[in-house]
């Protein structure tokens, strides 16, 4: 599939990342299709599910995609031990249960888990800090795959390093499995604030900024020119109510991942439905008031600020 003869991509499609990459090595997956699927998910909610039945509830509620997991993050946190890629039978079961795209997690740096997920027909791989990292220094070379990847980031440097490695979608990291929105807010503000700062820099300042961020210069230049990340940016980690989802959307992300927040709440179908509606009408307080009624209890939650350093998942990623 040759993409070099095409008339060019829109500014939102990571042209710098693509051009930069084409100079060195042929890519396997087509960048426009990989980042394009993320464009189709925008304004939507991606839900963590652990069974085909939950996947069906998510789809019926209007989820744009489901993340097929063996355990939701709050259970991974509770159970401890090594968290790995899900069982292929579970992923197959979920793929067969729904018609929306199915995502699945691979451990950071575990490119063989990613190869397995691609072979299973998974539509998007999350190289995720929620699982136990398989590599203490390096992430997966995501250009080698036709399956697109989404990666977490706590700041702009981390986001651009992941895009440099081939991630076609970013999610700002919250503290997964807590039901506490504070870290999702902190990191979304961090990423978006750094983008605004770079946008207003002189070109002379960009190389030093790239050095300080630990980010590829070409991508810093693209952010400077476009004022946005080269790929779609969702929020994840700690979203537990419709208001949480709308808060992240108003801060400026393009969609949300909800992990434990749905199936650890008192009434999962109602919560799933409400978060989907709130993500569409995030800017309409009257609508949000209506949507927030009668949902039962949200997930119990853990205060993220009280976690010790070794309990934090968000710091995983290099």
Partner 1 sequence: MVGTTPVNPLESGEVDEKPALKIGVLALQGDFIEHIQMFRKLGVEAVEVRKPSQLAELDGLIIPGGESTTICRLIDLFGFEDELRKFVDDRRALWGTCAGMIVIARELTDPYPEPLRLMDISVSRNWFGRQVDSFEDEFEFSGIEGGPFLAVFIRAPVVESVGEGVEVIARLEDGKPVAVRSENLLATAFHPELTDDSRVHEYFLAMAREGVANRR
Residues near partner 1 (CB under 8 A): 1, 3, 6-10, 12-13, 29-30, 32-33, 36-37, 39-44, 59-65, 99-101, 118, 121, 123-124, 146-148, 276-277, 279-281, 284
CA triple 230-233-239, angle to 5 deg: 170
> What span, in angstroms and rounded, lies between the C-alpha atoms of 42 and 127?
19
Residue 24 class from Cβ within 10 Å (0-12 exposed, 13-18 middle, 19+ buried)? exposed
> What span, in angstroms and rounded, lies between the C-alpha atoms of 279 and 63?
11
Please identify, using beta-carbon distances, which residue of 201 and 287 lies nearer to partner 1.
287
Provide the 3-class DSSP secondary structure of residue 72: coil
Q: Facing residues of 151 across strands?
A: 127, 170
Please identify, using beta-carbon distances, which residue of 121 and 285 lies nearer to partner 1.
121
- Please, what is the minimum distance in Å from the beta carbon of residue 1 to partner 1? 6
CB atoms within 10 A of CB 145: 21
Please identify, using beta-carbon distances, which residue of 39 and 51 lies nearer to partner 1.
39
Please identify, using beta-carbon distances, which residue of 7 and 80 lies nearer to partner 1.
7
- Please, what is the minimum distance in Å from the beta carbon of residue 267 to partner 1? 17
- Please, what is the minimum distance in Å from the beta carbon of residue 158 to partner 1? 25
- Please, what is the minimum distance in Å from the beta carbon of residue 59 to partner 1? 6
- Please, what is the minimum distance in Å from the beta carbon of residue 83 to partner 1? 24
Provide the 3-class DSSP secondary structure of residue 153: strand
- Please, what is the minimum distance in Å from the beta carbon of residue 182 to partner 1? 27
State the DSSP H helix or E strand holding residue 47, giving kind and residue range, or none if neither.
Answer: strand 45-49
Please identify, using beta-carbon distances, which residue of 119 and 207 lies nearer to partner 1.
119
Please identify, using beta-carbon distances, which residue of 41 and 49 lies nearer to partner 1.
41
Nearest to 107 by CA among 152, 48, 168, 49: 152
- Please, what is the minimum distance in Å from the beta carbon of residue 243 to partner 1? 18
Q: Which residues 6+ apart lie within 8 Å of 161 measured at CB?
A: 139, 214, 215, 216
Please identify, using beta-carbon distances, which residue of 71 and 225 lies nearer to partner 1.
225
Rg for the chain, CA atoms, rounded: 19
């Amino acid at each position: 599939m040759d993409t070099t003869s095409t008339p060019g991509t829109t500014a939102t499609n990571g042209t710098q990342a693509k051009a930069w990459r084409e100079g060195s090595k042929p890519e396997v997956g087509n960048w426009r299709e990989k980042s394009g699927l993320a464009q189709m998910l925008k304004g939507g909610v991606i839900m963590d599910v652990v069974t085909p039945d939950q996947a069906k509830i998510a789809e019926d509620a209007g989820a744009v995609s489901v993340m097929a997991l063996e355990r939701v993050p709050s259970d991974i946190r509770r159970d401890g031990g090594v968290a790995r890629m899900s069982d292929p039978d579970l992923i197959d079961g979920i793929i067969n249960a729904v018609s929306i795209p199915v995502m699945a997690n691979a451990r950071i740096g575990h490119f063989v888990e990613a190869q397995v997920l691609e072979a299973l027909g998974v539509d998007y791989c999350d190289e995720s800090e929620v699982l136990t990292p398989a590599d203490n220094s390096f992430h997966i070379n995501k250009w080698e795959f036709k399956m697109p990847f989404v990666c977490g980031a706590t700041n702009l440097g981390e986001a651009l390093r992941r895009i440099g490695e081939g991630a076609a979608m970013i999610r700002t990291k919250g503290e997964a499995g807590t039901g506490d929105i504070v870290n999702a807010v902190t990191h979304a503000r961090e990423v978006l604030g750094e983008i605004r700062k770079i946008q207003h820099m002189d070109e002379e300042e960009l190389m030093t900024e790239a050095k300080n961020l630990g980010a590829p210069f070409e991508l810093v230049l693209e952010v400077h020119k476009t004022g946005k990340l080269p790929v779609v940016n969702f929020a994840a980690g700690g979203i537990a109510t419709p208001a949480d989802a709308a808060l992240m959307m108003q801060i400026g992300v393009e969609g949300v991942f909800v992990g434990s927040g749905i199936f650890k709440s008192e009434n999962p179908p109602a919560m799933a439905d409400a978060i989907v509606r709130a993500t569409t009408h995030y800017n309409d307080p009257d609508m949000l008031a209506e949507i927030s009624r009668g949902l039962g209890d949200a997930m119990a939650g853990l205060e993220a600020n009280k976690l010790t350093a070794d309990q934090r998942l968000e710091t995983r990623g290099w």
